[in-house]
Structure 1
Amino acid sequence: MTTYMKIFEERISGLSKGVDETVDSWFLMSSPAPVFGVVLLYLAFILKIGPEFMKNRKPMDLKRIMVFYNAFQVCYSIWMCRTSIQESNVISSIFSKKCEINRTREQNLALYSGAWFYFFSKIIDLLDTTFFVLRKKNNQVSFLHVYHHTITVLFSWGYLKYAPGEQGVIIGILNSGVHIMMYFYYMVAAMGPQYQKYLWWKKYMTSIQLIQFVLILGYMLAVGAKGCNMPKTLTFFFVGNTVIFLYLFGNFYRKTYNKNKGIDGSSRTGSSLAQSALRAAGGMGCMPTQTQITSQSQSQGQVQPAKAYIDLNNNSVKPLKVE
């Protein structure tokens, strides 16, 4: 028994040592324990503690908080894209035959610092699900949503700890670029239904995410083919996880947008449309859609088309004034 404990302690001690002792001293980077603790607390809250706490309470009105949160995410993502491009040799990495990049100690630390801020952004992203729970939108806490947030936190930590480099910067830039558009959409949506006329491009958000995964997959396959100085295990994980994301997001897109083309205007169907559309884009705002309401016109008594919106607080579909 003592022998096994000794082996276990040696393995844990080995995991605590990354590629750079300076990185090991940064917040949440000393060992796997802190980041696993954050992830476990996140899962416990969104799956058990949060729903139980909100069970007999009204949904929280987080409109102002969500507008501020999404605005912050847009600015943070812009800053990360700008910093990553400036502090890394991205272009040289893409076009070099063996991805051989020579950096000084200071350049390495600048690259590692950018990777830490990217990792920490994934910790901040966990608030997405927290807002779902506090607003009692538990139907949006889907497997895709939880898996995506959980795996990106763990992977970005492992990448910085054990294998930082330009290869990961490419993925970070692509992901941050998508987040700029995504959180800008959510910010406008959270501002209220009067802004939904500016949200006609909602459907394309999922398409942009799918394009991102295709680009990442192509890049990682090229990295493997060129024999870049990157751990093969990490490359295989990148490829495998990207394929999973492609399948999950692609399936989501197909079910949400293709299925809803023929939806009629009944209240039950309208509610189903609302829930499906919110799941597809992450559910951080309201969605413009079309429905039919029966309106007895004083002159003709005909069914008039009207726009509808999803209220941010109670998730119901409400008709706007007939135009």
Structure 2
Amino acid sequence: MDALNKISATWQDLMDNKSDPRTTNWFLMSSPLPTVMICLTYVYLVKIVGPALMENRKPFQLRKIIVVYNFLQVLLSAWLFWGLGKSGWFTNYSYRCQPVDLSYSAQAIQMTHFCWWYYFSKFTEFFDTFFFVLRKRYDQVSTLHVIHHGIMPFSVWWGVKFMPGGHSTFFGLLNTFVHIIMYTYYMLAAMGPQVQKYLWWKKYLTILQMIQFVGIFTHCFQLIFHNPCNYSYIFVYWIGGHGVLFYFLFRSFYQQAYVAKSKSVKNDEPNDKKTLIVDDNENIVEYKKHYETKRDSITQINKALAKHL
């Protein structure tokens, strides 16, 4: 009983006395439990409830909704990128080592607000997965996808609660920049085959995401060797560790989606030249061989492809 009381007292002291008082009373900031529950509910919905409800239903056609959603995500990401930059990274922040400004100055409060909105944006990204489930694109609801979306709100919560500003917000700056490009791609991909055939750069988007994570953990881990601003090592390892984790997860995805798939296609019919053009959900929208050209609906072409492979 004494041990439990000590744990409870330590936790209460951490939440009440060690956290940033400027964000204590903000929405979802009083305790990590609401965020944890929302994240677990998200995983439960997309992995269990959603597929069960959709089992005997036809996939929803959500193209227009997805286009609008991705457009709004582009605007939100651009606004957050601009805000994080204006609040420090484009003005007076040091890329070498930046402490957290705990004052109530206009710039410090502005950075704090943009950190909270960045945290909130992680919940809006859940709709990516909801749309996959409603369209019965369960192959897109991968372990990488669910881990990435499911863990981010919880991870960012700690930053807003204890360190809303300073060195680790470089993570948000890079992430929002990549999301501008990523959601632009998704918006274009949802517009149909007439646009999708120009989106040859999908794999380079994955490469950009990996570069992002290299930049994140490099920027964090430099403080292990020299930390002149006395930035919290807990957050150095916390943010840097996330960068390492997601780098290897995205690297694994890249190898499976592009390197392994490329070798499989080449080895399948080495003497028979063919071209595949796919949409963002890996559906064939154009299929060519040297002896035939087929242009039809996605469903018909996928069936035709299955007979030839």
Give me the TM-score of the superposition, normalised by structure 1. 0.80
Match of 1:57 in 2: 57
Query: CA offsets per residue over residues 276-309 of structure 1, 9 Å max, x none?
Result: x88xxxx5x567776435xxxxxxxx71355789
Once residues 76 and 56 of structure 1 are traced to their aligned partners in structure 2, the CA distance between those partners, rounded to angstroms, is: 35
Bigger Cα displacement from structure 2, 69-78 vs 37-46: 37-46
Where do residues 162-311 of structure 1 align in structure 2 (5 Å cutoff)? 162-227=162-227, 228-262=229-263, 263=265, 291-292=287-288, 303-305=291-293
Match of 2:273 in 1: none
Once residues 59 and 315 of structure 1 are traced to their aligned partners in structure 2, the CA distance between those partners, rounded to angstroms, is: 19
Aligned length: 294
Query: CA offsets per residue over residues 30-89 of structure 1, 9 Å max, x none?
Result: 111211111111111011111111111111111111111100000001111111111125
Change (3 A) 1:186 1:10: same
> What stretches of structure 1 of length at least 5 have no aligned partner?
267-272, 294-301
| 1:221, distance to aligned residue in structure 2 (A) | 1.8
Once residues 65 and 236 of structure 1 are traced to their aligned partners in structure 2, the CA distance between those partners, rounded to angstroms, is: 39
Q: Which amino acid letter does the alignment assign opposite residue 125 of structure 2?
A: D
Contact 1:73 1:183 in 2 (8 A): yes
Q: Which amino acid letter does the alignment assign opposite residue 88 of structure 1?
A: G
Q: Which amino acid letter does the alignment assign opposite residue 191 of structure 2?
A: M
Once residues 3 and 46 of structure 2 are traced to their aligned partners in structure 1, the CA distance between those partners, rounded to angstroms, is: 35
Q: Which amino acid letter does the alignment assign opposite residue 288 of structure 2?
A: Q
**Aligned to 1:249, what secondary structure does the other structure show?**
helix
> What stretches of structure 2 of length at least 5 have no aligned partner?
270-275
Where do residues 147-166 of structure 1 align in structure 2 (5 Å cutoff)? 147-166=147-166
- The root-mean-square deviation of aligned C-alpha atoms, in Å, is 3.0
Once residues 308 and 229 of structure 1 are traced to their aligned partners in structure 2, the CA distance between those partners, rounded to angstroms, is: 62
**Aligned to 2:29, what secondary structure does the other structure show?**
coil
Change (3 A) 1:56 1:130: same
Match of 2:23 in 1: 23
Match of 1:14 in 2: 13
Contact 2:168 2:236 in 1 (8 A): no
Once residues 59 and 301 of structure 2 are traced to their aligned partners in structure 1, the CA distance between those partners, rounded to angstroms, is: 10
Bigger Cα displacement from structure 2, 29-38 vs 114-123: 29-38
Match of 1:38 in 2: 38
1:112 and 2:100 matched: no
Contact 1:93 1:101 in 2 (8 A): no
Contact 1:288 1:308 in 2 (8 A): no
Query: CA offsets per residue over residues 159-189 of structure 1, 9 Å max, x none?
Result: 1111222212211111000000000000011
Match of 2:80 in 1: 80
Contact 1:192 1:286 in 2 (8 A): no
Once residues 301 and 39 of structure 2 are traced to their aligned partners in structure 1, the CA distance between those partners, rounded to angstroms, is: 28
